[in-house]
Amino acid sequence: MPAPKRVLVIDNGSYECRVGWHDSKKPELRFRNVLTKPRKDRKKDNNQQPEATGIVEEYKGSAEIQVGNDIVNIEAVRAHLKSPFERNVITNWNHQEQIFDYIFTKMQFEGETSINHPILLTEALANPNMCRRQMSELLFECYGVPSVCYGIDALYSWQHHRKQHKPMPQDALIISFGYSTTHVIPVLNGCMQLEHVRRLNLGGFHIVNYLFRLMHLKYPVHLAAISSRMEKLVHEHCHIALDYREELLKWANLDYYEEQIMKIQLPYNAVTATNALLTAEQKLEKRRELAMRLLEIKNRREREKLEEDEQHLELLQSVRQLYENQKTQKFERALQQHQIANLEELDKLASTVGARIKRVKERATGKPRPSKQQIKLDKMPKPPEGMPQAQWLAELRDKRAELLRRKQERHQQRQEQGKRHTHAAQERMRIISTLARSEKRRKANNGEEEDDGFGMNDKDWDVYKRINRYNDDSDSDAENEQLLEYEKILNHYDAGNEDNNAQTAQTAAENYQLHFGVEAIRVPEILFQPSMVGCSEAGLAELIAFVLKLFNGDEQQRMADHVYLTGSVATFPGLKARLNKEMLALRPFQSTFEIHESTEPSLSAWLGACLQAREPNFATKLTTRKQYEEQGAEYFTEHSASNLYFPTPKD
């Protein structure tokens, strides 16, 4: 049977989907494999009533699902993103059908009754028969495809890699890094050893999520800014440490930290120098201008709303007039058109609209109420009568300086009392030791010492006053309140009081900074130490060692000579060097090994699938509609890059 001329290749990854024709050099379509519905459309769906059959097409046009690249602002709807995948297996087939609709529309199949092209589709390793059955039913029954071919993305990537080597290797140890899982796949004589494949339930999603958790604990007030930057930080700034413990010790050094730390400045509203240097009169004038603009906007909106209410009231009155003129049929049609139940509801609605119009007109003619800002300004203290403002502000500055001086003295005394050899500490200890002298105590009749009654006389309390003179370490609440009052008045009237505006702006900028440092190596380290995220599985190095031990020495060497890394996570800088170190530790002394990286980790699976579709015997690897109808929905044709077919046992 001749091979088909054009095959549609779909690399259906759980993070990104790549679609294109088999004779293309790159996919025509790449998008995040997620979908969502805009908030306004979700609200429309909730309010939509089944009786409104006359506007079904309008709802279909407006309440449209957004898929992949059609999502305008993916960060704004991140909480509402939906995926057909659970880990790396498709579980939500409604979402998968919507994604297929998006794919076939973008590939110019819109309006056609069926897809008259073979489909080559990637699937998960050891994909359950139930999932494949659902996929075959969807493609054959819903889209009418003539044939389909299923394959594993990691094996397609390896086939693309083999074509670039002469001679082509037949044995390999494939390490496939996915979005939800990581697989170690042994290949001997060109065939996957399925019974010896092992999976680590960590992938790109867990790396991004771990970074999000770390940054959220570090900066809990910047949650929104953190969630929108995590993927970019992982993709562009994370790397695998060659020696994780040694790198941690470097970060413990303050100089190294200052040199290597990356500071991410978040947007914030800074206090400009123009506003900081304005006088009190200029600030007041600006506030008045702003208040006038806001008042104009408010009045304009009220006028527009008043016009709408008046038109609405006229409409309700015209409907009421139909009832008074005994035009029953027209009256009933008008009620139905405006979604009003009966005459009583009509009168109630007209009364409500009329009352609202009356309130707006009364408010427009009445005396305007002072704004909250004006009330606040009126409460601001003013200079006493007959005293110039400059003299009044000078006195307030002196009082404020005196309060600050007293607070500084108390702070200095607290520090001196903590030191043994200071005058304050020695004076306090001298007074206490004086009180403890034996001559202060008197003998009782039985010869034992008894209390001398110290404290019964008012003069005795002078001693405690002398002690407390050096122990007065609490700031008065009244003084703190007075200090705040002085600062508020000075900031309002005196522009020169804000000398620290530059420092304040700098402090505000630092409060809106994310420091990204040790997280760059800590986050991807979970691939080698899953316990960091509470996972009880073995790390990647231990998993490789476990898989190799399942084979004899000769087979181990053949696979170790060609360790192949694929998947988007394989692009992490330092991954190859780290695996070289781990392989050197776990392989026998003086044995050889070689690690190869995919030239295009995120595209190699799609490119490898295109290579298979160009083979002359590709038609023999397709599952046709006839086989689907005769063998069952879970049947598929095996080939070198596919899963193995195991029929589901019948009860």
User: Rounded distance, CA 426 to CA 418, Å?
Assistant: 11
pLDDT at 319 over 60: yes
Q: According to the model, what pLDDT value does residue 53 have?
A: 36
- Write out the two tokens for 587: 């392989």
Mean pLDDT of 436-464: 54
Mean pLDDT of 345-358: 88
Nearest to 238 by CA among 13, 569, 597, 578: 569
- Write out the two tokens for 623: 């599952």
User: Rounded distance, CA 240 to CA 576, Å?
Assistant: 9
Mean pLDDT of 406-424: 70
The confidence band for 375, taking pLDDT boundaries of 50, 70 and 90, is low
Q: According to the model, what pLDDT value does residue 408 have?
A: 83
Output the CA angle 67-70-72, nearest 5 degrees: 120
Mean pLDDT of 543-549: 96
- Write out the two tokens for 474: 């609490």
Q: According to the model, what pLDDT value does residue 417 have?
A: 59
Mean pLDDT of 46-50: 46
Query: How crowded is residue 534: how many other Cβ atoms within 10 Å of its Cβ?
Result: 7
Q: Which of 208-212, 218-222, 286-290 has the lowest mean pLDDT?
A: 286-290
Q: According to the model, what pLDDT value does residue 374 have?
A: 60
User: Rounded distance, CA 604 to CA 613, Å?
Assistant: 14
pLDDT at 301 over 50: yes
User: Rounded distance, CA 467 to CA 462, Å?
Assistant: 9
Q: Which of 61-65, 115-119, 134-138 has the lowest mean pLDDT?
A: 61-65
Percent of all residues in the chain with a pLDDT value above 90, rounded to a whole number: 45
Beta bridge partners of 188: 191
Q: According to the model, what pLDDT value does residue 506 have?
A: 55
Q: According to the model, what pLDDT value does residue 440 have?
A: 47
Non-local (6+) Cβ contacts of 448 within 8 A are none
Non-local (6+) Cβ contacts of 644 within 8 A are 194, 638
First-to-last CA distance in the chain? 37
pLDDT at 46 over 70: no
User: Rounded distance, CA 352 to CA 366, Å?
Assistant: 21
Q: How far is CA 392 from CA 280, 281, 379, 397, 489, in A?
A: 14, 16, 17, 9, 11
Contact between 222 and 515 (Cβ < 8 Å): no
Contact between 121 and 148 (Cβ < 8 Å): yes
The confidence band for 50, taking pLDDT boundaries of 50, 70 and 90, is very low
Output the CA angle 427-431-432, nearest 5 degrees: 115
Q: Distance from CA of residue 110 to its chain's centroid? A: 35
**pLDDT, tens digit (0-9, with 9 covering 90-100), for 142-153:** 999 999 999 999
Q: According to the model, what pLDDT value does residue 425 have?
A: 62
Query: Is the pLDDT higher at 33 or at 72?
Result: 33
pLDDT at 296 over 90: no
Q: How far is CA 581 from CA 122, 171, 368, 543, 549, in A?
A: 33, 22, 78, 15, 18
Q: Which of 197-206, 317-326, 501-510, 520-529 has the lowest mean pLDDT?
A: 501-510
Neighbour-count burial of 482, counting CB atoms closer than 10 A to its CB (0-12 exposed, 13-18 middle, 19+ buried): middle
DSSP 103-121: HHHHTT-TT-SS--S-EEE
Mean pLDDT of 271-280: 54
Mean pLDDT of 572-585: 95
The confidence band for 290, taking pLDDT boundaries of 50, 70 and 90, is confident
Contact between 31 and 104 (Cβ < 8 Å): no
Mean pLDDT of 167-172: 90
Q: According to the model, what pLDDT value does residue 272 have?
A: 53
Contact between 486 and 403 (Cβ < 8 Å): yes
Q: Distance from CA of residue 490 to its chain's centroid? A: 42
The upper half-sphere exposure of residue 81, i.e. CA atoms within 13 Å in the direction of its Cβ, equals 19
Non-local (6+) Cβ contacts of 561 within 8 A are 169, 171, 592, 593, 594
Average confidence score pLDDT of the chain: 82
Secondary structure (H, E, C), 159-219: HHHHCCCCCCCCCEEEEEECCCCEEEEEEECCEECHHHCEEECCCHHHHHHHHHHHHHHHC
The helix (run of H) or strand (run of E) holding residue 90 is strand 89-90
Q: According to the model, what pLDDT value does residue 473 have?
A: 45
